[in-house]
């Protein structure tokens, strides 16, 4: 985790956001919205601060938020979650993932299976937990795994199958046969399924399907999500994890020594958000989908080959036809050339698999329409 001169290496997101500020570029790198989310949610946080909700909340989370998460899982997915024993609030999905992996890994032989490319914290946390990362590649186009390759990657040492759906960075939503195979393999090898569903409300081709709703899954699945993407509050860092009570107790045991608790006044505000009418959630997905279409159109006009996403903040595009066969090099010069910052997929890929994704670039679509239109003008000038 340290760079060769011993300094803490910045994450790719911090590095690229700094490049955007330095060059005055439009930042389509790090995934965060440039607009505030629902007024009711923001107002609820202000009210909570005024009402004195400023001290440590309970270790599991504010009871009202635990109840709201349980109601939300029932309303959208028909999942039963006991708010007293089967869910805890965390400092974002990041802490939920970290505490879960630290809690479940007990031997250096343990393996965590992920799909590659993968979100940057996964490999770091697997390393911190002292386990082995095993990655199954997602295939271009479509970014689905090959089911035989998936089956071949699971073995008696597989402790966790970690599935991010909808997927960052590729924008894939995994098909029912992929999800069913994950459940089958987890049962066969007695592995725990850990899901990262932070983009659950940003699926464009139909409702999101949590793995925990599949037959034989709930009793071995820890479902993780957070408020950041759903309510455009990425800086609040309110997340949660739910699943069987015994697993949640294990995660809580670790979590209490990571942060103990966090975000007291944001917790009731997120509860308000989770109780917003269905139309809020549907509109958020529809608006983001339109932004992806705008961005995708601009990228095509500039000469990129676009992989339209099925969910999440990001559109992936192949820059090879624009001389970007090495997308990492392409992204380093893009701020100066076009005034736009984007992230090469190589940032989400292990050294061994770099060549499979070499020309691919990730662009964030979660920006105001006028910002995307200006980015479109700048990108079109590239072609
Ligand atoms: N998982 C994925 C796939 C993400 O894209 C992100 C964040 N942006 C996170 C986890 C982290 O979520 P949080 O900010 O709630 O910690
Ligand atoms: N999840 C965001 C992304 O993928 C960034 C989060 C971060 O900066 N760690 O861009």
**Same structural domain for residues 324 and 200?**
no
Crossing angle of helices 266-274 and 39-50, in 10° steps, is 150
**Same structural domain for residues 109 and 212?**
yes
**What separation in Å is there between the alpha carbon of 93 and the centre of ligand 1?**
6
Domain-ending residue, one of 217, 243, 274: 274
**What separation in Å is there between the alpha carbon of 13 and the centre of ligand 2?**
6
Domain-ending residue, one of 247, 274, 301: 274
Residue 58 DSSP label: P
Ligand nearest to the CA of 16: 2
ipTM higher than threshold 0.95: yes
95 CA: nearest ligand 1 atom: 16
Residue range 239-256, pLDDT digits in tens: 999 999 999 999 999 999
359 lines ligand 1 (CB under 6 A): no
Cis peptide before 119 (omega within 30 of 0): no
Residue range 50-77, pLDDT digits in tens: 999 999 999 999 999 999 999 999 999 9
**What separation in Å is there between the alpha carbon of 147 and the centre of ligand 1?**
26
**What separation in Å is there between the alpha carbon of 321 and the centre of ligand 1?**
31
Residues in the chain with pLDDT values less than 70:
1-4, 6
CB-based contact 117:123 (threshold 8 Å): no
In this prediction, residue 23 carries a pLDDT of: 94
Q: What is the DSSP string of 125-154?
A: HHHHHT-EEEEEEEETTTTEE-HHHHHHH-
Ligand nearest to the CA of 194: 1
Q: Does the residue 6 lie in any domain?
A: no
Of 302, 321, 282, the C-alpha closest to 363 is 302
**What separation in Å is there between the alpha carbon of 226 and the centre of ligand 1?**
8
Q: In whole angstroms, how far apart are CA 61 and each of 69, 141, 265, 271, 370?
A: 11, 41, 11, 11, 38
167 CA: nearest ligand 1 atom: 3
Beta-strand pair 360-364/87-91? unpaired
Domain-ending residue, one of 216, 250, 274: 274
Q: What is the pTM of this model?
A: 0.97
In this prediction, residue 15 carries a pLDDT of: 86
**How many domains does the chain contain in total?**
2
Ligand nearest to the CA of 164: 1
In this prediction, residue 2 carries a pLDDT of: 54
* Domain hosting residue 236, numbered range: 39-274
**Same structural domain for residues 100 and 123?**
yes
Task: Give residue ranges with CB within 6 A of ligand 2.
Answer: 11, 13, 30-31, 168
Tell me how far apart the terminal alpha carbons of the chain are, to the nearest angstrom: 37
CB-based contact 172:316 (threshold 8 Å): no
What CATH number is given to the structural domain containing 302? 3.90.1150.10
In this prediction, residue 312 carries a pLDDT of: 98
């Amino acid at each position: 985790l340290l760079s060769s001169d011993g300094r803490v290496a910045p994450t790719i997101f911090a590095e690229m956001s700094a490049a955007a500020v330095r060059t005055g570029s439009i930042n389509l790198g790090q995934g965060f919205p440039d607009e505030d989310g629902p007024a009711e949610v923001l107002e609820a946080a202000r009210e909570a601060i005024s009402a004195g909700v400023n001290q440590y909340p309970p270790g599991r989370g504010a009871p009202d938020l635990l109840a709201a998460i349980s109601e939300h899982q029932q309303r959208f997915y028909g999942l039963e979650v006991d708010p007293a024993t089967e869910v805890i609030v965390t400092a974002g999905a990041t802490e939920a993932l970290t505490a879960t992996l630290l809690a479940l890994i007990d031997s250096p032989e343990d393996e965590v299976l992920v799909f590659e490319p993968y979100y940057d914290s996964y490999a770091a946390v697997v390393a911190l937990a002292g386990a082995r990362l095993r990655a199954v590649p997602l295939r271009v186009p479509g970014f689905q795994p090959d089911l035989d390759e998936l089956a071949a990657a699971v073995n008696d040492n597989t402790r966790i199958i970690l599935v991010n759906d909808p997927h960052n960075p590729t924008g894939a939503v995994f098909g029912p046969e992929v999800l069913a195979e994950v459940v089958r393999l987890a049962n066969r090898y007695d592995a725990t399924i850990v899901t990262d569903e932070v983009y659950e409300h940003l699926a464009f081709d139909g409702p999101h399907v949590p793995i925990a709703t599949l037959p034989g899954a709930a009793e071995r699945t820890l479902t993780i999500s957070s408020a950041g993407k759903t309510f455009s509050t990425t800086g609040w860092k309110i997340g949660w994890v739910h699943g069987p009570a015994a697993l949640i107790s294990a995660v809580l045991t670790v979590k209490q020594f990571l942060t103990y608790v966090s975000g007291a006044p944001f917790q009731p505000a997120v509860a308000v958000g989770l109780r917003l009418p269905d139309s809020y959630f549907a509109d958020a997905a529809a608006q983001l989908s339109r932004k992806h279409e705008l961005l995708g159109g601009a990228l095509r006009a500039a000469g990129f080959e676009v992989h339209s996403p099925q969910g999440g903040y990001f559109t992936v595009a192949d820059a090879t036809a624009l001389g970007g066969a090495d997308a990492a090099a392409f992204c380093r010069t893009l701020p100066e050339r076009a005034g736009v910052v984007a992230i090469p997929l190589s940032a989400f890929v292990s050294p061994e698999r770099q060549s499979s994704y070499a020309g691919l670039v990730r662009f964030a679509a979660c920006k105001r329409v006028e910002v995307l239109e200006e980015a479109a003008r700048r990108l079109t000038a590239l072609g």
